Structures are given as structure tokens and as C-alpha cells.
Amino acid sequence: MEEITPQEGQRRVQAGAVLVDVREQNEYDEVHAEGALLIPLSEFEARHGELPKDRELVMICRSGARSARAGEYLEQQGYSQVANLTGGTNAWVESGLPSVKGQD
């Protein structure tokens, strides 16, 4: 699975890739990349079928470890266009890319 930077991830999403956040709901609610689809890793086996096989998937979590596991799982299930966002949401936000922060 290819490892990509936040900037490359945003470019691919703008070109039609699906950004898939595998963190838990409470983490997603705190801050997430704008436009990210939430499928928590804890629900991933049951819900991965919601993801299209005909579009690139860019996987994201907090720092890149959980999303790498999810991406490897997808590849085992026959998904061929999967990339992992190195540094996860932390790197996305630090890069100043569009994100949604929760309300206090």
C-alpha cells in the first residue's frame, strides 16, 4: 500500500478519491479532515462493503497506524486502489488543510 503525504491526499480527494477516517466517533467529532467518511476500525469488517471498489481510497486515522491496518484489510478483500495518509489527521491539520473542529 502506498504511503502519501497530506498534500497528496488532498490532491487525490479533489480528483475523486474517497477519504476514509477509521477513528472512533468521539475522535472524529473533535477534529476531522473536511469531507472524510467515518467508518471506525471497530466497525470496519462489517461496514467495508460500503466503500466503492472502483475509486481510490485514501485511509486516515490519528497518526497513520490504524488506517494502515484498515488499508491492508481492504487490499485483502480485493480493493486495489488504496493509499495510507502518513501522519494521519494530526499531519493533515498541521499542514493547514481543510478540517472540521468540534464545538466546545
Residue positions annotated with a catalytic role? 61
Contacts 24+ apart (CB under 8 A), 91-96: 91/5, 91/6, 91/63, 91/64, 92/6, 92/9, 92/10, 92/33, 92/60, 93/31, 95/5, 95/6, 95/7
